[in-house]
Structure 1
Amino acid sequence: MKTEFTLLTMSDNFPDEESCIKYFEKMRWDGKVVSPYDPASKVYKCSNGKYKCKNTGRYFDVKTGTAFANTKIPMRAWFYTMMLFLSHKRGVSSCQLARDLGITQKTAWNMLHKIRQYMAMENEQTLSGEVEIDETFVGGKNKNRHKDKKVERCQGRSFK
């Protein structure tokens, strides 16, 4: 039986910020914390959800090196945004998201933009081998062209 991920199940599973961070740590590191600065380095757990890389001496948290890094938006808001974005067929508008989260439209747009960017990076594929495409014509009609660009005695499709 398929379980649906709804707003109610989300609020039950992630009642506070700490539960979101613990879930993200489990998804990212699966119990073994790895430094984003030196993957071979030993990592020390510090207070306030921070970690320290032994080799570089730099501090980091679970958000470092992800779309959530250097943002003041809570993880619950990010989770809510991703749930809406992925559950609706046509996504969610930045205006609607801004109203739902109580943030500015520009911030909502930036959140959605980051999510799209990271999804595109994850699904990046290149074509290889023999690739076949159909013919297409990109351009306008002769009558809509500027007078410098018009071609005499053509029937709309001139490659000059």
Structure 2
Amino acid sequence: MNTEFTLLTLSDNFPNEESCIRYFEKMRWGDKVVSPYDESSKVYKCANGKYKCKNTGRYFDVKTGTAFANTKMPMRAWFYVMMLFLSHKRGVSSCQIARDLGITQKTAWKMLHKIRQYMAMENNHTLSDEVEIDEAFVGGKNKNRHKDKKVEKCQGRSYKDKVPVFGIRERGGNIVAKVVPDIHGDTLLSIVNEYVTEGSVVYTDGAGYPGINIDYEQRDVDHSKHFYGATYATDEGEIIVVSTNGIENVWSHFKRMIFGTYYCVSKKYMQQYIDEFVFRFNTRNFSDSQRFNLLLRNAA
């Protein structure tokens, strides 16, 4: 099989269900099958892709314990959905998946959410050196709502009708983004402490983060005074760019993904869509097949 493949060549690389199962087995176990019930147990190969754990007497297959277990959809359909999902820069809706596969929208929606749970692993990187932090508010505009659905006093940084999301971007590297219950300084600083290494330079938009100067060097861009960035050189010749444009660019792309593809996302599932976006951003230099293999390894 060609190690580099695209959506167009997917059917050539995985012509049948057996080829998909064997590929996933290699991703999950390598050259030796391991029982999910007892890793030290000897394993017997049975018919129809089944295996038996000697110590527990229980049967299993490569899908046991993964998102693909207990579903009626064949692995080939899962592979197609994953590749279609990943090859689109801003995602693909469950309605489109349903039309492509000839399944119900409800089934397609469940498949996509099962896939998203394995994207969350890319949203836990440790960031260092120079990082930018900022919060965003995701939700519809009050002026676009019907008169009986408008929310009073929701202007500015209010999150009465929106979901607050906090993001950290390492310059030239990965991002971490989390849905937060509020935008209080101590709430956001706890996330910075969890994901940013001590001693890093943190660029902010002037919002208060009490105690951030203890473990980090803080550099501010005070947007309230219409100051959006500056570049200067130190006596040692180091070029310093004081700006949060990087993380703000991240929010711009995220909102385009939501409004352009999904249109409306409930608060309940906002973190899953954040995880999807972070996965796409952090693997932006991957090929489609590399991104596919990474996601398949996470599921394995």
TM-score over 0.5 for the pair: yes
Using the TM superposition, give the Cα deviation of residue 91 of structure 1 relative to its aligned residue in structure 2, in angstroms. 1.1
> 1:96-127 CA distances to partner (integer Å, 9 max, x unpaired)?
1000001000000000001001211x224277
Question: What one-letter code is carried by the residue in structure 1 that aligns with 2:124?
Answer: Q
Percent of paired sites with the same residue? 82
Match of 1:71 in 2: 71
The 3-state SS of whatever aligns with 2:119 is helix
Distance 1:21 1:135 in 2: 42
43 and 126 in structure 1: CA distance in 2 versus 1, 3 angstrom threshold: same
**Residue correspondence of structure 1 range 116-131 to structure 2 within 5 A:** 116-120=116-120, 122-125=121-124
**CA distance in structure 1 between the partners assigned to 2:125 and 2:8 by the alignment:** 39
Q: Deviations over 1:60-113 (max 9, x none)?
A: 000001110100001111000110111110111100100000100000000000
What is aligned with 1:59?
59
- 1:21 equivalenced with 2:21 (yes/no): yes
Residue type at the aligned position of 1:106: K
What per-residue deviation string (whole Å, max 9, x for no partner) do you get for residues 28-49 of structure 1? 1112000001111111101111
Given that residues 46 and 52 in structure 2 are in contact (C-alpha distance below 8 angstroms), is that contact kept between their aligned partners in structure 1? yes
Greater C-alpha radius of gyration: 1
Task: Letter of the 2:15 partner, please give it.
Answer: P
SS at match of 2:44: strand
Between the aligned partners of 1:136 and 1:27, the Cα distance in structure 2 is: 37
Q: Secondary structure at the match of 1:8?
A: coil
1:68 aligned counterpart, secondary structure:
coil
Distance verdict in 2 for CA 1:47–1:10, change over 3 Å: same
Q: Is the 8 A contact 2:5 2:13 kept in 1?
A: no
Deviation of 1:52 after TM superposition, in Å, equals: 0.4
1:54 is displaced (CA, Å) by 0.6
Equivalenced residues, count: 137
Q: Does 1:88 align with 2:88?
A: yes
Q: Which residue of 1 aligns with 2:38?
A: 38
CA distance in 1, matches of 2:4, 2:92: 18
Cα pair distance change 1:54/1:93, threshold 3 Å: same
Gaps of 5+ in 1: 146-160
Q: Is the CA contact (8 Å cut-off) linking 2:44 and 2:52 kept in structure 1?
A: yes
Output the CA distance in 1 between the equivalents of 2:127 and 2:113. 29
Partner AA of 2:68 in structure 1: F
Q: Provide the alpha-carbon RMSD of the alignment.
A: 2.7
Contact 2:7-2:87 at 8 Å conserved across structures = no
Q: 1:8 offset after TM fit, Å?
A: 3.0
Distance 2:115 2:71 in 1: 13
Q: Is the contact between residue 82 and residue 115 of structure 2 (CA under 8 Å) also seen in structure 1?
A: yes
Structure 2: state its 5+ residue gaps.
143-151, 154-300
Deviation at 1:133, TM superposition (A): 5.0
Q: CA deviation at 1:135?
A: 8.4
Distance 1:21 1:124 in 2: 28
Which residue identity lines up with residue 97 of structure 1 in the other structure?
I
Q: Which has more strand, going by share of residues?
A: 2
Report the Cα distance in structure 2 between the residues aligned to 1:48 and 1:109, rounded to whole angstroms.
Answer: 29
TM-score (norm 1): 0.76
Query: CA 1:99–1:136 in 2, change beyond 3 Å: closer, same or farther?
Result: closer
What letter corresponds to residue 89 of structure 2 in structure 1?
Answer: K
Q: List structure 1 segments (4+ residues) > 4 angstroms apart after TM superposition.
A: 126-129, 131-137
